[in-house]
Structure 1
Amino acid sequence: MTSDIKVKICGLTRPEHVRWVAEAGAAYAGFVFFPRSPRNLSLGAAREIAIEAPAGLAKVGLVVDADDAALDALMAQVPLDMLQLHGHETPARVAEVKARYGLPVMKAVGIAAAADLAQLDDYSAVADQLLVDAKPPRDAVLPGGNGLSFDWRLLAGRKYWTRPWMLAGGLTPDNVAEAVRLTGARQLDVSSGVETAPGVKDRALIRAFVAAARQTSMPQAAPRLR
C-alpha cells in the first residue's frame, strides 16, 4: 500500500533536475547556497531553475549561517517556499529569519549520539520543520550532503517532536525502507544518494528512491496480548 511519505530531493543544479523530481512524485526540491558545496548555485542559476518548478513542488533554499544581507539577496532573486538553515543558527536566529522573511523555516540538526537529540526539542519551539541529519565529522567541509547516516535506532520508539520532521543522512533507494522502519519517519531528504557524482543527479535513482519511499508502509503494531 502506498504511504503518505514525502520526499525532498536536495542539491538540484540543473533545470532538468526539477522536472525529474516532479515526475518522480517528490514533494520538495532543494537548492544549495553554500560556496564550498559541489551543489552550490549562483542566485541567477537558481532563479532560472526555480521558475521551472511546477505548482505543488515546494522549493527549499539551503543556507549555512547566512547573514541578513545574503538572505535579502537570495529572497529578492529566487522564488522560494521555504528556507532550510543548515549551520549553527541558534533558536533565536531561527525565529529572526522566520519573522524577517515570512517563510516557513526548516532547521537542520546533526545527530551522532543520544545527547544530540535534546537540540531538537529546543528548535521545535521556533522552527516550522526539523531536519534530523547525521552530524558531520569534525574535519568535514560540508555540514550535510556527505552521504553519512547516524544510528537510526536512536529515534526508535521516541515520542516525536511537536513539528513535522524529516530524516536525512546516507539515505539511498536500497536503505530507505529500513530507515523508515526503524525511525517512523514520514518525510525523507536525499542528495548524494541519488547522484552518480557530487552534484550530478541521476534520473533513474531519483525515480527509484521516491518509489521505494512511497511504497514503504509503517510497521504494524504487535498484536495485543489477551
Structure 2
Amino acid sequence: MTIKAKICGIRDDDTARIAIDSGANMLGFISFPKSPRHLDIDQMAQLIANATTYTLHKGYDVKGVSVLVDPDDTLLEAIVTRARPHLIQLHGHETLERVRHIRDRFKTPLIKAISVETRADVLNAAPYESVVDHLLFDAKPPKDATLPGGVGARFDWTLMEGYPAKAPWLLAGGLTPWNVAEAVSQAKAPMVDVSSGVERAPGLKDPSLISQFLKAVKAI
C-alpha cells in the first residue's frame, strides 16, 4: 500500500516546492495567531496559488490545505474566496453540528482533527465520517499547551489498530523521519501528517528533514 503524506505548517514558497518535489501529497498552511506557523489570509492565498501553479507545471497532484482552529463563518468565507484551498482542516473543538454547517455552507472538502489519548477518543470520531472527507488523528496536547497540535506530542499508535474507518484518515503527532515507519506499522495508517518533526526550530522547516521524512514514507 502506498502511504500518502502531508507536510504541515509551510510558510514559504521554497519549502512548498521542496515538499512537492520530494513527494508530498498535501501541503498544510496554518492560520492561527498563536502558532509559530501562522499565516494571514493574504500570505496563505499567495502560497497556495504559487504551490498550485508549481504542481500543475510539474504535473503533480498536490492539495493545498488551510488549517484553522474553531473558525467562524467570516474567516471561513475569507479563506474560501481568497485563499481557495483544496481542503480545509478543522483543528479545534468543532462539534459535529458545526462541521456539518461548514460543509453545507462552504462546499469545500474537509479534514477534521481528532485529539487522541484513549481508545474511546478514536471510536468517538466515527460520527464525523459522514460529514468530512478525511479524519486526522493527533495526540491530545498537554494541558498547559497553547496549541491544539504541532507540539511534537505523540499518542499510543496501537490505539488505532482495527479502527473501522469508513473515511480516509491521517496519523499525526510526534512523527519524524526516524519513527514514521514504526508508526504506520503500529497504527496501520494510510496517510501521515508531520509538522514539528521536520523543523529545526518551531515554525522553521528543515529541507533536509522534509526530504528524509518523505523518503522514509516512500520506503514503507
TM-score normalised to the size of structure 2? Answer: 0.94
Residue 82 (structure 1) shift = 0.1
1:109/1:119 contact within 8 Å kept: no
Tell me which residue corresponds to 2:34.
Answer: 36
Per-residue CA deviations over 1:37-85 (Å, capped at 9, x if unaligned) read 0000011111221111123210000000000011111122112000000
The 1-side partners of 2:121 and 2:112 are apart by 14
Residue aligning to 1:27: 25
RMSD: 1.0
Question: Quick one: distance in 1 between partners of 2:35 and 2:160?
Answer: 28
Residues 68-124 of structure 1: CA deviation (Å, up to 9, x unaligned): 011111122112000000000011111111111111101000001122123211211
Hey, which bits of structure 1, 4+ residues long, moved more than 6 A? none
2:159 matched to which residue of 1?
154
Selected match of 1:109 from 114, 122, 126: 114
Q: For residue 8 of structure 1, what is the aligned residue in structure 2?
A: 6
Structure 1 or 2: more helix by fraction:
2
AA of the residue aligned to 1:183? A
Match of 2:136 among 122, 131, 134: 131
Listed as ranges, the gaps of 5+ residues in structure 1 are 217-226
1:120 paired residue number: 125
Q: 1:178 and 1:159 mapped to 2: Cα distance?
A: 17
Deviates more, 1:69-78 or 1:103-112: 69-78
Report what 1:207 is aligned to.
211
Q: Could you tell me how far 1:125 is from its partner in structure 2?
A: 2.1
Of the structure 1 ranges 33-42 and 72-81, higher mean CA displacement relative to structure 2 is found in 72-81
2:83 to 78, 86, 102: 78
Q: Which residue of 1 aligns with 2:95?
A: 90
Q: In 2, are the aligned partners of 1:15 and 1:48 still within 8 Å (CA)?
A: no
SS of alignment partner, residue 136 of structure 1: coil
Using the alignment, how far apart are the partners of 2:139 and 2:49 within structure 1? Answer: 31
Q: Distance in 1 between matches of 2:112 and 2:212?
A: 27
Give the partner amino acid of 2:108: L
Distance 2:192 2:163 in 1: 18
The one-letter amino acid of 2:147's match is L
Q: 2:66 aligns with which of 61, 65, 74?
A: 61
Greater C-alpha Rg = 1
Q: Retained in 2: the 8 A contact 1:120–1:161? A: no
Deviates more, 1:166-175 or 1:75-84: 75-84
Q: TM-score, normalised by structure 1?
A: 0.92
Structure 2 CA distance for aligned equivalents of residues 142 and 172 of structure 1:
19
CA contact (8 A) 2:87 2:109 kept: yes
Check whether the contact 1:107–1:130 (CA below 8 A) recurs between aligned residues: yes
